[in-house]
Amino acid sequence: MYQVNKQISKSEQLSSCVFLVLPIFISILQCPFWRNFFVECARNFQHYFILVLLAQVVAICFRFKKFGAAKGFIYILIHFLALVVLYKPISIYFERSESLIPESSLARFKIFYVNLELGNNSKKILESVKAENPDIVALLEPNASQLNELDFKSKYPYSIQKPLDNKFGLALYSKFKFTAEPTFSLGSDLPGVIIVPVRFRGKEVRLVLVHAIPPLNNEAYYQDRILFRRLATYIKNQTGNILIMGDFNGTVYSYFYQILKEGANLQDAKVRSGFAKTWKARSPFLHLIIDHVLYAGDLKLLNFKVGQDIDSDHYPLIAVFN
């Protein structure tokens, strides 16, 4: 009997520790002073943290009498505070966006963005672009052979191509004329970018294409942090319309995403898509929204959707603006 009671006591101590420590640990992940690649990776899964916290609240309610009123209320309060801390990063999914205006009534332009995945078959990409008929095509991870197979130049007279064999190639195709020379770098040892203005019906739109490094070590983490800080500073110093497309290798909970969106006061087109995933990793638990379309200025979002499977590990993003 003593042995059984001892085992029950240990079990209760362990559960009490989990109920106390886990919400505190999850809250600490949001603290600005704790920044490294591990924290950045963990922050991308905050939707799972929320589910775990809610499940623990239910478990606490079922065991409320066993814990006692005082301890039970403390556990629930700690979990409530942790959920409040987590609300801000996910609040984008509850933002209200302006009412859609019929596309046919406005001069509009459509963008098609996708991370091709290095070496991917080009057939489905061509079919998807043909079906969508966008005005701007933005590609990540193209190499030279892929760009030759795609051969978008016949339909898109203005193009910028930076093919690479290391998964960080960039390419941009446009039906509209580029009005200045492109910018390819925001600093040495940083991931490449394409920043270039185009003119559409007398209005200038500055296009930004970016591909962040996966933050799998501290070196990559600090490179990305510098990149997004410089990009946010660059955008704040610009006037007019800005349209950013890219693979941030981070979700809306990411520190890098928040640096850019909040630091440059941008809007996120995915308000229209809910929780549609853009990255289809091997495990369904890793299917995340890491590709983003952000914008600012006089641009009005008319439509946004996640496109069909093109045999890449990413889905295309299609957005329509006036």
The percent of residues in the chain predicted with pLDDT above 90, rounded, is 41
| pLDDT, average across residues 37-50 | 86
Of 49-53, 64-68, 174-178, 188-192, the poorest mean pLDDT is in: 64-68
pLDDT of residue 29: 77
Residue 199 · residue 176 · CB < 8 Å: yes
Quickly state the pLDDT bin for 31 (edges 50, 70, 90).
Answer: confident
Q: What pTM value is reported for the model?
A: 0.86
Record the tokens describing residue 231, joined without a space.
Answer: 């990009």
Q: What pLDDT does 5 receive?
A: 45
Answer whether residue 318 shows pLDDT above 60. yes
Domain boundaries, the chain: 2-93, 101-321
Separation of alpha carbons 322 and 317, rounded Å: 17
- What per-residue confidence (pLDDT) applies to 175? 95
Question: What pLDDT, on the 0 to 100 scale, is given for residue 1?
Answer: 47
**Domain 101-321, what fold?**
Deoxyribonuclease I; Chain A (3.60.10)
Instruction: Report which listed range, 33-47, 91-105, 286-300, is most confident.
Output: 286-300
Task: Supply the pLDDT for residue 316.
Answer: 94
Q: What is the pLDDT of residue 290?
A: 93
Average pLDDT for residues 82-100, to the nearest whole number?
Answer: 66
- Give phi and psi for 207, each to the nearest 5: -90, 140
What is the predicted pLDDT for the residue at 89?
Answer: 64
**Exposure of 254 by Cβ count < 10 A (0-12 exposed, 13-18 middle, 19+ buried)?**
buried
Q: What is the mean pLDDT of the chain?
A: 85
